[in-house]
Amino acid sequence: MAFWQLIVGFQQEIYQAFAAQIRDVAGAGGWGAFVLYLPMGILFGAAHALTPGHSKTILATYLAGSRLGMLRGLGVSLALSFTHVLMSVLIALLALPLISASLGSVGRAPVLEDVSRALLGIIGLWMVWRALRPRGHVHAHGEGLMVGVMAGLIPCPLTLFVMTFAISRGVPEAGIAFAFTMMLGVALTLSTVAIATILFRDRLMRLLAHRATLLDRSARFIEAAAGLVLLAVALREVWLR
């Protein structure tokens, strides 16, 4: 509890400082000070991504059940991070026609959430089917990027708040710049999750390497379990809607 309070307090301090910087830019054009402040967005994004959400569980579950190497696994985390932040920027920039159609409350986009969960559910079914079928040559790299994009369709609420505030002050470019640095921070946290998951998975596979049958069964079980988790998450989120 103390850790989360620390993270939340840290985010509030950065956001308040960001708001002050935006007011200065809007009022007196103080871009120099704002540019110097931008790197704080990386810390902001990294800390924010530590809080619940941001598809960390989906990312770890998918990578645990996949056979992606480190570079492609990082590609999934980067695709997730980029899409996650980009969706908030686009929603904010297209605010007037889009908010009434797709935003149920501030910081949420139910339509995009439903699309994201449905697509992830399809990926989950595909992983279960692939785990049960005879082994063949698997082309998983394109699938991994799709998972990253699908999971990232759910917009980042804090980025949306940042963009909305900047737009309301007449400086959307400042919001976009800060959102970009936030995306780097989110990517840092999600990439750490990806690296840790892949290292753990590969370590487990190496321990079983001398037992070919057990290794194959374990790989199939992990992939099927990961697919079932993705499917369960998708069904649960859609049902709760």
Burial of 107 per CB tally in 10 Å (0-12, 13-18, 19+): middle
- 83-110 pLDDT tens trace: 999 988 988 887 644 544 444 444 455 5
User: What are the b/e assignments for 156-177, b being 16+ CB within 10 Å?
Assistant: bbbbbbbbbbbbebebbebbbb
Cα–Cα distance measured from residue 111 to residue 104, given in angstroms and rounded to the nearest whole number:
9
pLDDT value at residue 154: 79
Q: Are 159 and 89 in contact (CB under 8 A)?
A: yes
| pLDDT confidence band for 235 (50 / 70 / 90) | confident
- 12-57 pLDDT tens trace: 788 788 888 888 888 776 788 888 888 888 988 998 888 876 788 8
Residue 37's alpha-carbon distances to 18, 121, 123, 186, in angstroms, are 8, 40, 40, 17
User: What are the b/e assignments for 68-102, b being 16+ CB within 10 Å?
Assistant: beeebbbbbbbbbbbbbbbbbbebbeebeeebeeb
Global confidence as pTM? 0.76
Ranges of H-type helices in the chain? 2-28, 31-37, 40-50, 56-65, 70-93, 95-102, 110-132, 141-152, 157-168, 172-207, 212-240
- Per-residue pLDDT for 2 more than 80? no
pLDDT value at residue 103: 44
Percent of the chain whose pLDDT exceeds 90: 18
Cα–Cα distance measured from residue 226 to residue 121, given in angstroms and rounded to the nearest whole number:
11
The amino acid occupying position 202 is: D
| pLDDT confidence band for 111 (50 / 70 / 90) | low
Of 133-147, 167-181, 198-212, give the lowest mean pLDDT range.
133-147
Cα–Cα distance measured from residue 41 to residue 21, given in angstroms and rounded to the nearest whole number:
12
